[in-house]
Amino acid sequence: MTLKPLADRVVVKLVEAEETTKTGIVLPGAAKEKPQVAEVIAVGPGGIVDGKEVVMTVKVGDRVITSKYAGTEVKCDGTEYNIVKQSDILAIVE
């Protein structure tokens, strides 16, 4: 099964959070923050959304930073993805 986003939606796969801090402290599962860096898996076509034209600026393969609690989590073929609006993407990581 493949995910094909509609309108201004983007399918991203979250990058795993690090298990230890910079100082070497190992974090238990409950203490980890939700990761914000993600890889773009699929991009919708854009178009007219809420009366405004949306041009998609991200592309498949980009690494992006998303809003912390944005989007809808979905599971497809055992892999977890997040579907967000392009406006919930804050930056492209280069």
Banded model confidence at residue 29, pLDDT cuts 50, 70, 90: low
Q: Cα–chain-centroid distance for residue 30?
A: 21
Higher-confidence residue: 18 or 83?
A: 83
Q: 36-60, pLDDT tens digit by residue?
A: 899 999 999 999 989 999 999 999 9
Instruction: Please report, for the chain, the start and end positions of each structural domain, with discontinuous segments joined by +.
Output: 9-17+28-93
Average pLDDT over residues 74-93: 95
Q: Inform me whether the pLDDT recorded for 30 exceeds 60.
A: no
Q: How far apart are CA 70 and CA 8, in angstroms?
A: 14
Task: Please give the Cα distance from 92 to 24 (Å, whole number).
Answer: 28
Cα–Cα distance, 86 to 53 (Å, whole number): 12
CATH 2.30.33.40 corresponds to the domain 9-17+28-93: yes
